[in-house]
Structure 1
Amino acid sequence: MNSNFPTVTIDVTLDRHNAKEVLNAILHSILFHRLFGTVKPQTFEVLDVTMPGVADPEMEQLVTEKVDIFWKGIESGANKRGQMIVTFSEKKAKKSWFQVYAGEEEVPWEQWIVNAEMRQPKSDRDRQEFNANLASTLVKALNVMLTHTSSERGRTAVPLITNAAGISPFPIKITVKVGGVELG
């Protein structure tokens, strides 16, 4: 597979108390910055950090479903590390030998990798420090999103939009991995 497309990585350390909320906000923020249809915005307040999101039932269901799969994977195993990978693709004509049209294939043009690790603070003081670090990580993640999507490389990665129907003219796939194993 061709991997000449941009890959953006966000590393985050979570605890049981706020894992779902944080992952939900991060995924929504990525989608907010990469959906090209008419987006109805919403915001998520996580540890006093305001993160943008998409108020679309289909996207909300997709994000909630993937966060739940991630959570169940983390809870059911000994492995406390996982990934949520958001891949944006475009549909291209697939050609076989002799340039014969053989249907369509999805060709990725950008990928976002959210590396998540679960930890538990031991005391109230640890909790305060943990939450402050997590809030700082969320601000950095938003900065990475804004910087990438407004950069030359981020803008040129987006293929021509030939279909303006719907909230996204491109196929979106969210993959969940825990301990290197794909779930869901």
Structure 2
Amino acid sequence: MDGKPPEFTLELSADRSNVKDVVKGIMHTVFFHRFFTPLTPATHDVLDTTLPYVSEDDIEELIETRATALVRSLDTASSTHTSPQYSAKSNGTSRGSLAIKFLEKKRRKGWFIAKADEETVWETWTIEVTLTSARSEPEAERNRRVMESSLQKAAMKVVTTVNEEKGHIPPITTNESNPFPYQIVVNPKT
């Protein structure tokens, strides 16, 4: 793998009442396609869209905590604490992101000393979220259509990307249950 590992960006739009479910749904979709251990197939419905779901306790817990942290940061950024769907602000949007990084463990070589493994990123998925709000019922309905559309586009982009982009995946060189560690970083510095 030469240079920088591939980074794929997914753009989502969501209102306050749905942002956590939308973000969790896309994170589960990414993990479903990039978690290289045997999984029991599961699905979860988010905004009338059926998405794959990873029912591994450690992944579920990590996704839950990171989604909660992202929602908190979006709430802090917008500092609008009115109803979850409607806002009196004319521009009631705020933005946040999170990055899912898949890592490869590489054994560092030394002359006579065994050195610790080093983890290098082989793929990053950046999820950019725009938090929307509405001042009226028609705006709320329009936002819901935009939210559903952005969720469907992001899910399709994940499926298309994982089917097309395979050449950069490192070989599995371990017998561990999960050959590739992962991280989820909320609002990463670029």
Scaled to the shorter chain, the TM-score interval is 0.7 to 0.9
Aligned to 2:181: 171
Q: After superposing the two structures, state which structure 1 stretch, 109-118 or 119-128, moved more.
A: 119-128
CA apart distance, 1:14: 1.5
Higher strand proportion: 1
Aligned residues: 175
Mapped to 2, the partners of 1:3 and 1:129 lie a distance apart of 42
Within 2, Cα distance between the matches of 1:51 and 1:75? 26
**Alpha-carbon distance in structure 1 between the residues aligned to 2:149 and 2:78:** 27
> Per-residue CA shift, 1:31-65, capped at 9, x if unaligned?
00101101122212111111111011111001001
1:125 aligns with 2:138: yes
Query: Is the CA contact 2:132–2:143 (under 8 Å) kept in the aligned structure 1?
Result: no
Residues 37 and 164 of structure 1 are in contact (CA less than 8 Å); yes or no, is this contact kept in structure 2?
no
SS at match of 2:53: strand
1:83 matched residue in structure 2: 97
* AA matched with 1:169: P
Cα distance in 2 between the residues matched to 1:135 and 1:52:
16
Q: Secondary structure at the match of 2:42?
A: strand
Which consecutive unaligned segments of at least 5 residues does structure 2 have? 80-93
One-letter code aligned to 2:133: Q
1:137 to 2:147 alignment: no
**Pairing partner for 2:163 from 143, 150, 154:** 150
Between Structure 1 and Structure 2, whose CA radius of gyration is higher? 2
CA distance in 2: counterparts of 1:164 and 1:50, whole angstroms: 33
Q: How far did 1:163 drift?
A: 2.5
Mapped to 2, the partners of 1:14 and 1:104 lie a distance apart of 39
Q: Tell me, what secondary structure is at the counterpart of 1:162?
A: coil
Instruction: Tell me the equivalent position of 1:69.
Output: 69
> For 2:106, which of 92, 96, 103 is the aligned residue?
92
Q: Which residue of 2 aligns with 1:52?
A: 52
Residues 112-161 of structure 1, C-alpha deviation per residue, up to 9 Å, x if partnerless?
0001121102211111111111111111111111111111xx21121111
Q: Distance in 2 between matches of 1:33 and 1:115?
A: 19
Note if contact 1:7-1:113 (Cα within 8 Å) is conserved in structure 2: yes
Which amino acid in the other structure matches residue 122 of structure 2? W
Within the candidate set 168, 173, 179, 1:162 is matched to 173
The verdict on how the C-alpha distance between 1:100 and 1:57 changes in structure 2, with shifts beyond 3 A counting, is same
SS in 2 for 1:102: coil
**Deviation per CA, 1:62-97, whole angstroms, max 9, x where unpaired?**
10011111112222344821111000010002246x
In structure 1, what is the Cα distance between the partners aligned to 2:66 and 2:155? Answer: 20
SS for the counterpart of 2:187 is strand
* Shift, 1:164, TM fit: 4.1
Q: TM-score normalised to the size of structure 1?
A: 0.86
